[in-house]
Structure 1
Amino acid sequence: MKRSGQEVKKVAAEQRLIHKQEFRITVRNFLSHLNRIAGMVMDDLRRSGGLSWRQSLRAWRYGFRRINFRIYGLDRSGNPADYLSYYQALKQMPINDRFSEIIRNKLTFPLMMRHYGMPTPEIKGVIRDGLFYPLNPAAKLDPLKFLKESCPVGERLVIKPIWGWHGTGFISVTHTRNGYQIHGEDISMHALANIVGNLKYYIVTEFVTQGEHGTRLYPDTTNTIRLMTFWDTEKSEPFIARVVQRIGTSRSFPVDNFKASGKGGMSALVDRESGELGPAARVDVKGYVTWYTEHPESHAQIKGAVVPDWIKLRESILSYAHRFAFMPCIGWDVVPTHSGFTIIEGNSNPGMPVMQVHGPMLTDPRIERFYRYHSVIS
């Protein structure tokens, strides 16, 4: 056995090197943070906020984008300090620290979830620079071979960016007896192959068919439930901070994402105890909110609807959050299916408008303590 201490010195030297690298990453993340703030200001100035200059200055003083200020109704009443501002939401990023990169990655995080036996869509493979790499066997296929071999008649696939947000880049491909379709619209195999050939970093998964609950709300999009879990350091357990049901519309098609653009879907608050839905909010391009007790297109009842097997779903997500205790903040996108539920993906920095359109987050003492502990608020 060596007693010269060389190995100990080597380990110590490597740790110092790692700390230097982590410092560089911290600086890089700080600069990225400043860039995001600058981007927020520039984007806000380009938009027609619809607020007076007095209200605009008030929104910026509290760290809000003007459109979010209006969505939350703060241009009319309410205490801005009760809401997590856009600036504070950016400060959420260090909560999961470098593990955020895992959650944001739509390939890595689902593979980790599968390792723990969590229900996730089957991953068929990845697309890089137009070539498809199936997970098994590991042999690359050009776009035409990919469509012929991996998307036979009767198959429906989802193709989406490995790093993405707000449903941007989402592609649903179906192979029917009459040929291929994108989002239900016919397309030739060669035209589809041309689209696939231009994709750079994408993941290919099975399409998850939603159950009766989501289909009844709006059948043309997969309507996901967003559950936000936080880790309570005092009790050493996760808790659900807020739950919303996202519901698609013809404006948001082919996804259900809630956007302040006039093209987004709807958001209904889900009661954490009963799983019952409240009325759904939809936001127009100027940030004005319209509330619906039933869907304006499908005419399905929204208010009063109940998420099926809610208690089982809720407790399952809490148990999963316990396994990921080293990631204190996770937004889970879940689809109730005919046989249970499937977790589509996770989010490390979940958007606030879809949550806070239903009311402030910081009036909940447990949420307030969480954000204070992580220095998001002071």
Structure 2
Amino acid sequence: MLGRFWRALPWDGLGWGRSPDPVLSDLRAWAAASWRQAQARPWRPLLGPGARAGWPLAALGPVLAFARARGLDGAATARLYGDCLLTGGGPVDVYVWRSLWGGLHPLPGRGAGLLLSRLGDSTGHALLADKLEAAERLAMADIPVPVMRGVYRRGAACDVSLLADAAPGQDLFLKPRHGQGGRDAFALTRLDGVWHMGGRPVSSAELMARLARLVLRDDLLVQERLVAAQEVADLAVNGRAPVLRLATARLPGQAPFLHSALLTLAVPGRNPRHFLEGAVHAPVDPAEGRLVAGLTLAAPRTRLDRLTWNGALLAGRSVPGFAQAAAMVLRAMAALPPLPLVHWDLIPTEAGPVLLEGNSCGNWILACLPGLHGLEACPLPPLLARWLPDDRRL
């Protein structure tokens, strides 16, 4: 229990300094105060000072571990530690931000989550956090979503019959109903009577053991796995299709609009959940639906006109079904209770784009990546500020 509280520092998302963006600085202060106000009354006065006092020690271990892994020298490690102290961000976030934009990260991890989750309609956030309910709502709005094979309910016994109904060679995709960032999600295929989990052959006993562990924590959704359209098949890795991430935004009382777009590709031999090395990100010009040069967050200054492992073209390449996907996410945004910003993940398939899920509290670095090329509709901080309650409007 104590370890969990320690790892959650800084509890209110603030560091020792102010955000370099004055609008985000005020927004973060408001979100931190709102979070503290929601806690038990006896603890409220202690939470801010406690977070500031505990943060230097809590940040030190992760910074040193990250510095060793990246081979940083003493000066770079000291600067990284200082950035973490001032921003309240973890070493990965603040390191990538400085590498891309220079200076301090204006809205790292926990601060972003506390802020974004408090702007807009709370029922909209809750709906997107529930992948099953969100898929049902979007399907009612005639938006293509993955075919659902069934659900393993939390705490219930698992059996293989739900999976065995899949056609031989039919890929399935299993994910927690309330999961985030692909955690505990995996692909499953049955070939010649043998289960392959994430491309690796496993016994039925091993598969059932994993299912049993996962359903202890959450419902587990069983869907048909989506296959990339032939036009982007050379961008897929081990059957993992490229993901089109479209950010939609809106002002209070106004229609949603497309803010920016990003195509994310898996990297061979890397864990796709590894923030630095697991993906190539290529922004999309929303006016033409064409990619610009991509990058990995492990080497953010190196621009990739082509993929290094197979020479597949990135820069200038058209994204199939982009206009259809953009229209689709605007309908999806309009079908939700009002929210300021949602990132939608879609797969470009042969039948057209299919919407996987939406996230109302996405990573700020990925939200800002298209802005490196001037490919965003508007600056986000002033837009977010418009969603503050009337009595707290900046």
If the length of structure 2 is used for normalisation, what is the TM-score? 0.73
- Partner residue in 2 for 1:185: 200
Structure 2: unaligned runs, 5 residues or longer = 1-33
**1:61 lines up with 2:61 in the alignment:** no
- Over residues 74-121 of structure 1, what are the superposed CA-to-partner deviations in whole Å (9 max), with x where a residue is unaligned? 69x64658x544465231111242431220112111111112121001
Aligned-partner SS, 2:161: helix
C-alpha contact (below 8 Å) 1:223/1:247 kept by paired residues: yes
What CA distance in whole angstroms lies between the structure 1 residues aligned with 2:311 and 2:56? Answer: 36
1:373 maps to 2:383: no
1:259 counterpart residue number: 275
Percent identity over the alignment is 17
Aligned to 2:265: 247
8 Å CA contact 2:243, 2:346 repeated in 1: yes
1:266-291 Cα distance to aligned partner (Å, 9 max, x none) = 1111111111111111123xx76543
1:42 alignment partner in structure 2? 58
Tell me, in whole angstroms, the C-alpha distance in 2 between the residues paired with 1:300 and 1:87.
36
266-275 or 194-203: bigger deviation: 194-203
Decide whether the 8 Å contact of 1:362 with 1:368 is kept in 2.
Answer: no
AA of the residue aligned to 2:252: T
Q: 1:222 aligns with which of 209, 220, 241?
A: 241
Letter matched to residue 281 of structure 2: S
Superposition deviation, residue 162 in structure 1: 1.4
Secondary structure of residue in 1 paired with 2:264 = strand
Counterpart Cα distance in 2 of 1:265 and 1:276: 19
**Paired position in structure 1 for 2:190:** 175
- Equivalent residue, structure 2, for 1:101: 126
TM-score normalized by the length of structure 1: 0.76
CA distance in 2, matches of 1:27, 1:144: 43
After the TM superposition, which of the residue ranges 322-331 and 117-126 deviates more from structure 2? 322-331
Distance 1:377 1:258 in 2: 37
Comparing both structures, which one devotes a greater share of its residues to helix?
2
Change (3 A) 1:145 1:74: closer
1:130–1:143 Cα contact (<8 Å) kept? no
CA contact (8 A) 1:278 1:303 kept: yes
| SS class of match (1:232) | coil
Question: Alpha carbons of 1:223 and 1:190: their partners in 2 closer, same or farther (altered >3 Å)?
Answer: same
Contact 2:260 2:376 in 1 (8 A): no
Partner of 1:343: 355
* C-alpha distance in structure 2 between counterparts of 1:36 and 1:298, whole Å: 47
Distance in 2 of aligned mates of 1:274 and 1:36: 46
Q: Which amino acid aligns with 1:367?
A: L
Q: Which residue of 2 aligns with 1:295?
A: 307
Query: Structure 1 residues 199, 219: CA separation in 2 closer, same or farther (over 3 Å shift)?
Result: same
- Offset, 1:249: 1.0
Larger Rg: 1
Shift of the alpha carbon at 1:64? Answer: 4.3
Does the Cα contact within 8 Å between 2:127 and 2:134 map onto a contact in 1? yes
Cα distance, 1:338 vs. partner?
A: 0.5
CA distance in structure 2 between the aligned counterparts of 1:181 and 1:107, rounded to whole angstroms: 25
**Which residue among 232, 240, 247 is the counterpart of 2:251?**
232
Q: Note closer, same or farther for the CA distance 1:211–1:258 as it changes in structure 2 (3 Å cut).
A: farther
Give the Cα separation in 2 of the matches to 1:216 and 1:206: 21
* 1:107-126 equivalences in 2 (<5 Å): 107-126=132-151
Q: Distance in 2 between matches of 1:344 and 1:177?
A: 29
Aligned to 1:27: 38
How many Å apart are 1:336 and its aligned residue?
A: 0.7
Return the offset for 1:25: 11
Contact in 1 for aligned 2:346/2:353 (Cα 8 Å): yes
Q: Which residue of 1 aligns with 2:6?
A: none
The 1:331/1:41 distance shift into structure 2, 3 A limit, reads farther
- 1:8 is matched with none
Q: Distance in 2 between matches of 1:293 and 1:151?
A: 39
Using the alignment, how far apart are the partners of 2:37 and 2:125 within structure 1?
13
1: CA distance, partners of 2:163 / 2:381: 49
- Counterpart for residue 166 of structure 1: 181
What is the aligned-residue RMSD (CA, Å)?
3.7
Question: CA separation of 1:170/1:55 partners in 2, compared to 1, >3 Å: closer, same or farther?
Answer: closer
Q: State the match for 1:320 in structure 2.
A: 332
Q: Which aligned pairs between 1:74-85 and structure 2 lie closer than 5 A?
A: 78=102, 80=104, 84-85=107-108
1:330 matched residue in structure 2 = 342
